[in-house]
Structure 1
């Protein structure tokens, strides 16, 4: 329990640093008044805009007001629309989540079996093919992969609408764009982890003791591979939103990722700050839950942490 409290405290500290970093970096990146007003407005209009949004206050005071608003669920107002930033984000969040969930399931469902299959047949043609395909999937940028899929299945074959949400087929290309590189990471990581475990002396001891191969996998291989897989899953979960930004931009989906691109282009800092904060919080929470899960999966990790806390 002490270790969980320690990790939770570190997560909260990381969140505070994220809040400060995102606020100050965006604050020094330009004057929103000059971006949202026409070039021929007079100085009085610019001053009125700054007073309306509190931009005439000292930076430390703006930060204090911003943090105080966060405690009340207020992420600020959009300069462009005048609507609450959180309201705009929540409007596009269902679209983004509907992309992220099938993506992570597809990546795990494809990558883990391929990695395990390659590890069990090390040096075979299947192993080399898995490695080659994984390298290719990681080498191609997401946006280029999306454009390639669009050209083949929309322009050339005409099977799927190139942009927007029409029916269930509209999910195929965005999900594939996001899931294939992640599946490659899962496959390579699973293969490496399994090869390390399969070469461990404890498996030779288990075989010498007469244990069946299936029991060896359940008792020794799977528990030992679970911890590193939880790690990579938590890390990839944090990268999902980045992939969603690319996919939504390429395929014209009206999600939170597309909103981020539009807000950066229009210098709508309140919306950008809110998206960065929510995304960062999700990543911090995912890593915290992964850390806690380690102890539940592998008692050795839990015992080691207890000794560290006592020391």
Structure 2
């Protein structure tokens, strides 16, 4: 269990660095009083606002107050609305999750089979076409892709609602915008991993034994592709969160991403910090789970962990 605790400690340290970086970056980005009241604010109002929100303290003291609040699950109050920042974020979270989860599922269901298909036809036209398709999907910015989909399916064909949530049809374009680029990443990494596996001597041995391509793929190919897919899934979960900020703005989606854009524009520190803390924690936890899963899925890491455990047992006996 030592290696698990080491990774948990590293994750906690990363989270602390994220909290510090977010706090000090926002603190030096501008005065929230000016953003709320404008440049013509009088000194009395300015001082009263700063005293009310604790902005008249030295920066280091503000940071300690903020850390104490986090420990007690108090993430501050919105400068703009006066509501608890965490409550605002939680109220928008279901809309973002309802967009992210189908995106993740469809990305895997589309990207992984495409990558396997390309690897099984390496060097052929199907492989080249898949690679070109993936490169094009990655090259198109998410906001541009969203606008193109909106123009075609909402303005031109009038099939789908252009913005907001008015039914299940509202999920199609935002989810497609997020899933296209993510599926392309899955396809490229799956292809690379599968090509490496198929070039391994064990595949030649399996072929010489008379096993069919389907059996070889299921028994030897896909299990060995699982390791890089775990890493990609952890990284892509964070990327989808990042892309969701842009996509929610394009489609006026009432989620956390749109709330973040509003908070940044109004220098609503508490809301922005709560969202970045939630996003960063999600990414850190996803990578931590991927590390732990690696330790159990990858035989090399599992063997090293077992040898370390035996070595410690020998030392304890001596």
- The alignment's TM-score, normalised by the length of structure 2, stands at 0.94
Match of residue 15 from structure 1: 15
Match of residue 206 from structure 2: 206
Cα 1:159/1:21, change in 2 over 3 Å: same
How many angstroms apart in 2 are the aligned matches of 1:259 and 1:103?
A: 20
Q: Does 1:50 align with 2:50?
A: yes
In the alignment, structure 1 segments of 5+ residues that lack a partner are none
How many angstroms apart in 2 are the aligned matches of 1:294 and 1:18?
A: 24
- Give the drift of 1:298: 2.4
- Give the drift of 1:296: 2.2
Superposed CA offset, 1:92-112 (max 9, x none):
111000000000001101000
Q: Does 1:157 align with 2:157?
A: yes
Match of residue 131 from structure 2: 131
Superposed CA offset, 1:187-244 (max 9, x none):
0110110001000112223333444544433332222110011001110011111111
How many angstroms apart in 2 are the aligned matches of 1:305 and 1:192?
A: 28
In the alignment, structure 2 segments of 5+ residues that lack a partner are 313-318
How many angstroms apart in 2 are the aligned matches of 1:94 and 1:250?
A: 18
Task: Work out whether residues 76 and 85 of structure 1, in 8 Å CA contact, stay in contact via their aligned partners in 2.
Answer: yes
How many angstroms apart in 2 are the aligned matches of 1:308 and 1:152?
A: 59
Task: Work out whether residues 3 and 306 of structure 1, in 8 Å CA contact, stay in contact via their aligned partners in 2.
Answer: no
How many angstroms apart in 1 are the aligned matches of 2:257 and 2:263?
A: 10
Deviating beyond 6 angstroms after TM superposition, the runs of 4 or more aligned structure 1 residues are: 308-311
Match of residue 72 from structure 1: 72
How many angstroms apart in 1 are the aligned matches of 2:222 and 2:304?
A: 20
Superposed CA offset, 1:123-174 (max 9, x none):
2222111111111100100000000000000111011111111111111100
Superposed CA offset, 1:22-59 (max 9, x none):
11111111111121123333211100000000000111
Q: Secondary structure at the match of 2:91?
A: helix
- Give the drift of 1:250: 0.3
Match of residue 166 from structure 2: 166
How many angstroms apart in 2 are the aligned matches of 1:64 and 1:11?
A: 21
- Give the drift of 1:7: 0.5
How many angstroms apart in 1 are the aligned matches of 2:165 and 2:178?
A: 16
Cα 1:67/1:292, change in 2 over 3 Å: same
- Of 166-175 and 292-301, deviating more is 292-301
Q: Secondary structure at the match of 1:40?
A: coil
- Give the drift of 1:278: 0.6
Match of residue 315 from structure 2: none
Match of residue 110 from structure 1: 110
Match of residue 86 from structure 1: 86
How many angstroms apart in 2 are the aligned matches of 1:216 and 1:33?
A: 65
How many angstroms apart in 2 are the aligned matches of 1:135 and 1:214?
A: 28
- The alignment's TM-score, normalised by the length of structure 1, stands at 0.96
Task: Work out whether residues 34 and 41 of structure 2, in 8 Å CA contact, stay in contact via their aligned partners in 1.
Answer: no
Match of residue 33 from structure 2: 33
Match of residue 296 from structure 1: 296
Task: Work out whether residues 33 and 49 of structure 2, in 8 Å CA contact, stay in contact via their aligned partners in 1.
Answer: yes
How many angstroms apart in 2 are the aligned matches of 1:153 and 1:303?
A: 53
Task: Work out whether residues 146 and 177 of structure 2, in 8 Å CA contact, stay in contact via their aligned partners in 1.
Answer: yes
Match of residue 100 from structure 1: 100
Number of residues paired by the alignment?
311
Q: Secondary structure at the match of 1:52?
A: helix
How many angstroms apart in 2 are the aligned matches of 1:30 and 1:210?
A: 69
Cα 1:57/1:160, change in 2 over 3 Å: same
- Of 43-52 and 239-248, deviating more is 239-248
